[in-house]
Amino acid sequence: MRPSRRGAGLVALAAATALVLSACGGGGGGGGTAGDVTGGAPPQAGNDINPVAYDQVRDGGDFFWAINSLPPQYNYNQLDGTERDNKNIIDSMIPEIMKADAKSVYQIDPNYLESAELTSTDPQVVTYKLNPKAVWYDGRPIDWTDFEAQWKALNGSNPAYVVSGTTGYDVIASVAQGATPQEVVVTYSSQYADWRSNFLPLYPRETNSDPNVFNEGWINGPLTSAGPFKLESVDNTAKRVTVVRNEKWWGPPAKLDRIVYVALAQAAQADAFANGSLSALDIGPSVATFQRAQQVADVDIRTASGPNYRHITFNGAPGSLLEDPKLRLAIMKGIDRNVITQSQVGPIVPSAKPLGNHLIVEGQEGYEDHSGVVAFDPEKAKSELDALGWTLQGDVRSKDGKQLALRDIIPTGTPVSEAEARIVQQQLGAIGVKVNIEAVPLDNFFEQFVYVGGFDITHFAWLGTASPISSSSGIYRLVEGTVAQNYGRIGNQKINDLLVQANAELDPVKQRALINQIDQELWNIGHSLLTYQRPDAFAVKNNVVNFGAKGFADYDYTMIGFTK
């Protein structure tokens, strides 16, 4: 299953109880034990990972991390590689030269970079100085040629590379060596504000120089490492990926001996955690999982505000049932997002309310709610459907002999999607819109249905990033002949132009104003119906440190471990 990234940048995530995709683009203390945790604790500002200093973390141990399925692709920059499960795996091995902090700001990782600076604004030039100790597993130093090869693979100039997105790379004019091979000079053809999100993650030139390796070389497993862990095995029978300490890692050694990523159906993960087979449990927006975790002894419930959010994607492709934006907007008015939000996450976060912005989530600067255009109003929805010629014929509306019946495609074994679909089915039934819920296999939900437009509506989550405009561009840009991550094929030239402007705007205040213009237009055309910001909630064995609800931050894989 895929979604994990946005844009070149968001990631769809197949999380413990809800599917999530990443977009492409690019703390606090621990919670209480099972006996003293109650529902309704507000999410912690920043993150909630039980931070412990490196020298206070026990040396050794195995960490068992649940994923929903083995990734179909371990190249995160390839179209099929953007699942969050894949990101959680490759982040232990593949360079993230910058990491987001708890305030959603990118900071350089000194294991990879000595510096990264905007050295000119006209033209825009960014100069990276690499840590000279940084090497790939074969011993070759990470150098400017890795940046050059990734730019050429992802800039859209060669269609043989099936990329998840081109945002940020398509505005680079050149990548060159500076004073040494470890100095990288990136010159842009136009201004690009989110330059920090480029080259995340960074793959070796050997992958990016050959379309066949790029598209197919990483299908069966990662080919190399330049991180604190390396691949030990991919067991397709046991459905496990195991990574172990990388003896060629030049940074602080990982505290864990190994991380074992265990593919389990979401419905089985809570029991596996309860019986000790997992070190942590992603609660996400699942009230049932939250309540189950509270019954487990010696467990912390860690929560934080995070960038992930649930939504309903509408298929507006030419020739589809929902091609007309007026029809999409009328149907959206028949869905009560408050009911969905409270039913799904209210017991975890009682103050939760529907999300109102497609690009910026609450907790990030610039957030504005523009969702009023689809405010719940079933009577207005009915009148608008009547005006469009969709009139009631019995219990279901019809037009020109065709029923207004929507295929709601959801993955099997995903309680959150099933619950949301049932609510939508009931609410839309009240305005004469029939919803047929079709559960399809989890393992190919994205590949065989979402990516190819095989739905009328569908539910999953987007995994946000610290660079919301560049990482979201692929979701909202409409380019003829290209899907990228705009799976509903909905957009217009106004949005395309505003995305270009926002990506080029170096003034953050002006950029946020452009982002909010984009969001208003997305609501106006009925691009997708946001439901709620997905709580970042984890149940964690209380001896686990530097792991849990990471919020907007990235994990430091060298620090994850157990108390001494």
pLDDT in tens, 516-553: 999 999 999 999 999 999 888 899 999 999 999 998 88
SS3 assignment, position 144: helix
Among 391, 436, 394, 437, which Cα is nearest to 412's?
A: 437
Query: Taking the model in full, what pTM does it have?
Result: 0.75
Please report which confidence band the pLDDT of residue 150 belongs to, taking 50, 70 and 90 as the band edges.
very high
pLDDT of residue 29: 28
Q: Is residue 484's pLDDT more than 90?
A: no
Residues sharing a CB contact under 8 Å with residue 246, sequence separation 6 or more, in sequence order: 93, 137, 225, 227, 228, 229, 230, 254
Beta-sheet strands, E only, within 145-203? 172-177, 183-188
The Cα–Cα gap between 453 and 450 comes to 5
Residue 203 has pLDDT above 90, yes or no: yes
Burial label, 473 (beta-carbon count in 10 A; 0-12, 13-18, 19+): buried
Number of H helices, E strands in the chain: 14, 25
Does the N-terminal peptide bond of residue 123 adopt cis geometry, omega within 30 degrees of 0? yes
Confidence (pLDDT) at 363: 77
The residue-averaged pLDDT of 404-423 equals 94
Residue written as tokens 């490492």?
225
pLDDT for 27: 28
Q: Under a CB-based contact definition with an 8 Å cutoff, are residues 23 and 40 in contact? A: no
Distance CA 561, CA 36 (A): 24
Q: What is the pLDDT of residue 364?
A: 82
> In whole numbers, what is the pLDDT of the chain averaged over residues?
89
Higher-pLDDT residue of 46, 216: 216
Average pLDDT for 384-391: 98
Confidence of residue 480 (pLDDT cuts 50, 70, 90): confident
**pLDDT score of 174:** 98
Tally of CB atoms within 10 A around 319: 6
Distance CA 462, CA 7 (A): 10
Query: DSSP 3-state assignment of 85?
Result: helix
Answer yes or no: is pLDDT of 4 > 90. no
Q: Which residues are within 8 A (CB) of 544 and not within 5 positions of it... i.e. 6 or more apart?
A: 50, 63, 279, 280, 300, 560, 561, 562
Query: What's the CA gap between 141 and 59, in Å, rounded?
Result: 28
Are the CB atoms for 284 and 534 separated by under 8 Å? Answer: yes
Segment 419-437, tens digit of pLDDT: 999 999 999 999 999 999 9
pLDDT-derived band at 5 (thresholds 50, 70, 90) equals very low
The token duo for 519 is 């969001």
Question: Does the N-terminal peptide bond of residue 318 adopt cis geometry, omega within 30 degrees of 0?
Answer: no
Question: Would you state the structure tokens that stand for residue 455, as one six-digit string?
Answer: 């739905």
Q: What is the pLDDT of residue 20?
A: 53
User: Exposure string (b/e) for 225-263, b if CB count within 10 Å is 16 or more?
Assistant: bbbbbbbeebeeeeebbbbbbbeebebeebbbebbbbbb
The single residue listed with the structure tokens 């001896």 is 543
- The pLDDT value recorded for residue 11 is 41
- Average pLDDT estimate for 125-148: 98
pLDDT above 80 (res 489): yes
What pLDDT shows up at residue 35? 23
- The alpha carbon torsion through 522, 478, 499, 127 (nearest 10 deg) reads 140
Residue 154: pLDDT band (50, 70, 90) is very high
Going through 246-367 in order, the beta strands assigned E by DSSP cover 258-263, 280-282, 299-304, 309-314
- For residue 562, what are its two tokens? 């157990």
Does residue 189 register a pLDDT over 50? yes
Residues in the chain: 564
Contact 356, 369 (CB under 8 A): yes
Residue whose tokens read 């500076």: 178
CB atoms within 10 A of CB 295: 11
Band (482; pLDDT cuts 50, 70, 90): low
What is the identity of the amino acid at 411? P
Q: What is the torsion angle, in degrees rounded to the nearest 10, for the CA atoms of residue 198, residue 203, residue 206 and residue 211?
A: -70
Assess whether pLDDT exceeds 60 at residue 395: yes
303's tokens: 């929560």
What is residue 55's three-state secondary structure? helix
DSSP letters, 56-84, are: GB-S--EEEEEESS--S-S-TTBGGG-BH
| 447 DSSP assignment | I
Model confidence at 15: pLDDT above 90: no
Residue type, 413: G
Any idea which architecture 309-537 has in CATH? Roll (3.10)
Q: What percent of the chain has pLDDT over 70?
A: 91
Q: Which residue has the tokens 């705009």?
A: 486
Q: Looking at residue 42, what is its pLDDT? A: 42
Q: Answer for the pair 17, 266: CB distance below 8 angstroms, yes or no.
A: yes
Give the separation between CA 305 and CA 54, rounded to whole angstroms. 25
Q: What is the predicted pLDDT for the residue at 49? A: 95
Give yes or no for residue 407 having a pLDDT over 50: yes
Q: What is the mean pLDDT of residues 447-456?
A: 93
At 294-333, the pLDDT tens digits run 999 999 999 887 788 999 999 999 999 999 999 999 999 9
Lowest-confidence pick of 114-118, 285-289, 529-533: 285-289
pLDDT on residue 483: 64
Q: Summarize pLDDT for 22-40 with one digit per residue, the tens.
A: 554 432 222 222 222 222 3
pLDDT band at 153 (very low <50, low <70, confident <90, very high): very high
Read off the pLDDT of each residue in 433-462 and give the average, rounded to a whole number: 93
Please give the torsion angle defined by the CA atoms of residues 559, 103, 183 and 248, in that order, rounded to the nearest 10 degrees. Answer: 10
pLDDT grade for 9, boundaries at 50, 70 and 90: very low
| Cα–Cα distance measured from residue 75 to residue 68, given in angstroms and rounded to the nearest whole number | 18
pLDDT of residue 45: 55
Mean pLDDT of 552-561: 95
Residue pair 517/524 in contact (Cβ under 8 Å)? The answer is: no
Q: What is the CB-side half-sphere exposure of residue 298 using CA atoms within 13 A?
A: 8
With H, G, I as helix, E, B as strand and everything else as coil, classify residue 219: coil
Give CA–CA dist 47/85, Å, rounded: 20
